[in-house]
Amino acid sequence: MNAEIITVGDEILIGQIVDTNSAYIAEQLNLIGVGIYQKTSISDNREHIIENIDRAFKTSDIIIVTGGLGPTSDDITKQVLAEYFGAKRMKIHEPSLEIIKSLMARLDIPLNEANRRQAELPDCCIPILNKNGTAPAMWFERSKKILVSMPGVPFEMKAIMNDVIPMISKYFKLNTVYHKTLLTYGIPESILAEQIKEWENKLPEHLHLAYLPNPESGVRLRLSAYNANDKNLLIKEIDNHFDSLRKILKTAVYGENDDNLASATGELLQQKNAMLATAESCTGGHIANMITANAGSSKYFKGSVIAYSNDIKIKMLGVKASDIEQYGAVSEQVASQMAQGVRIALNSDYAVATSGIAGPDGGTAEKPVGTVWIAVATPRKIIAQKYILSKLRDVNISRASAIALNMLRLELINEE
């Protein structure tokens, strides 16, 4: 079963926006066992749209089109689809008109003709409600293949995809699919592959393994099972395989599915009824940002001192001025004192601290750009480690943040 994604509109072609929609749609389709044959971005041009739909119907069973459904004259996707699928007339879809009316009322804008026309749909499509916007989605069928047209606004598209995925599963009578992902950090992909080779070779044929590496979240390992007759049995089977995998990878495994390094660390802290504080220099708030991106993080996160200047390190965190003088701000001594200092100042149980040269300037022969000291303070000890990362400021900030959270996580596990 193949699909193709076609995005319509100039914003993507001129590079004004990054196309995050396609990745989301591809991922959702993959999760029900539908592969993506091709993704194509084109402008709001009738011939170009028709040519691409024609082509895509030759290679794929499912075509997802996003964009080009706005109220302005350059948005022509709906008209082109009406023509392509031979609509006899456009008719008002009352439930969509109700949504448009209530959205306009909330914004205190009178309903105009352009808004009203957004509820007009070709009579040959199945309308799909867009609960979050003015452009409804449309489902077309031709020769046992389908085309779905959706608006390009990401949160509108995502909500609609929630409804479209089960419709696709039902229409094509797709087999149940089950996925589970194990999250690892700290082992490079090539070494990880070597370590789990034997385990991987023993996997039965109906289970498929995918490596999903990402610099800020490590390597995710996803097991997928298609053709699942007995889902409960399958869940048990995958759990068993992951149990063996956990025995091989041990503490490199930090979570499952939608966990992230910060939430996994937070989970461990909560189990200990412990609170965390951070003291950040080179990461400049990125660690706190990663932690607080998780809802509920206030249960284990007290806060942070972003000590960008040395006097804050001294005044707020109790770092010894003489040590900054003697060893420099980027040193084992200073990072350790920052961690211990913020742990005490913020009345926390655990703390992490970073001090480094994010770049692009400030490097020396002895301490080049990318040098970072990371420290973890616990109720029992303080540990610190040096890393030499990259020449790029943004890469250094995000990698140092992930390494710091992982160091804390390993310490929380090891002390048990």
Residues 152-171 that bind a copy of itself (CB under 8 A): 155
Closer Cβ to a copy of itself, 270 or 298, answer by number: 298
Stretch that binds a copy of itself, among 8-16, 143-151, 201-209, 404-412 (CB under 8 A): 8-16
Does a cis peptide bond (omega within 30 degrees of 0) precede residue 360? yes
Instruction: Report the nearest approach of a copy of itself to the CB of residue 233 (Å).
Output: 26
Distance CA 101, CA 104 (A): 5
Q: Does the protein bind a copy of itself through residue 292 (CB under 8 A)?
A: yes
- Considering only 62, 80, 305, 324, the residue that binds a copy of itself (CB under 8 A) is 305
Q: Does the protein bind a copy of itself through residue 270 (CB under 8 A)?
A: no
Instruction: Report the nearest approach of a copy of itself to the CB of residue 58 (Å).
Output: 12
Distance CA 34, CA 2 (A): 6
Cα–Cα nearest to 60, from 188, 135, 168: 168
Q: Strand pairing of 2-8 and 35-42?
A: parallel
Distance CA 210, CA 181 (A): 9
Cα–Cα nearest to 153, from 66, 81, 64: 66
Instruction: Report the nearest approach of a copy of itself to the CB of residue 339 (Å).
Output: 15
- Considering only 77, 96, 265, 304, the residue that binds a copy of itself (CB under 8 A) is 304
3-state secondary structure of 202: coil
- Considering only 90, 124, 199, 303, the residue that binds a copy of itself (CB under 8 A) is 303
Which of the residues 16 through 45 are near a copy of itself (CB under 8 A)? 16-20, 22-30, 35-43
Contact status, residue 346 vs residue 305, Cβ threshold 8 Å: yes
Instruction: Report the nearest approach of a copy of itself to the CB of residue 271 (Å).
Output: 19
Closer Cβ to a copy of itself, 302 or 409, answer by number: 302
Binding mask 187-226 for a copy of itself (x = CB under 8 A): -----------------------x-x-x------------
Stretch that binds a copy of itself, among 62-70, 228-236, 244-252, 273-281 (CB under 8 A): 273-281
Distance CA 321, CA 315 (A): 9
Cα–Cα nearest to 257, from 31, 32, 3, 414: 31
Q: Does the protein bind a copy of itself through residue 185 (CB under 8 A)?
A: no
Q: Bridge partners of 36?
A: 3
- Considering only 397, 402, 404, 410, the residue that binds a copy of itself (CB under 8 A) is 397
Contact status, residue 341 vs residue 383, Cβ threshold 8 Å: no
DSSP secondary structure letter of residue 146: E
Binding mask 345-374 for a copy of itself (x = CB under 8 A): xxx----------xxxx-------------
Stretch that binds a copy of itself, among 88-96, 120-128, 238-246, 276-284 (CB under 8 A): 276-284
Q: How far is CA 258 from each of CA 179, 217, 261, 367, rounded to the nearest angstrom?
A: 12, 11, 10, 37
Closer Cβ to a copy of itself, 93 or 286, answer by number: 286
- Considering only 15, 143, 201, 202, the residue that binds a copy of itself (CB under 8 A) is 15
Distance CA 372, CA 404 (A): 10
Stretch that binds a copy of itself, among 236-244, 376-384, 393-401, 408-416 (CB under 8 A): 393-401
Cα–Cα nearest to 338, from 377, 290, 284, 287: 377
Q: How far is CA 167 from each of CA 30, 153, 172, 183, 366, rounded to the nearest angstrom?
A: 15, 21, 9, 30, 61
Q: How many CB atoms lie within 10 A of CB 262?
A: 25
The site that binds a copy of itself (CB under 8 A) totals a number of residues, namely: 74
Binding mask 223-262 for a copy of itself (x = CB under 8 A): ----------------------------------------
Which of the residues 117 through 156 are near a copy of itself (CB under 8 A)? 155
Single-letter amino acid, residue 341: G
Which tokens belong to 376? 């973890």
Closer Cβ to a copy of itself, 235 or 395, answer by number: 395
Binding mask 328-347 for a copy of itself (x = CB under 8 A): -----------------xxx
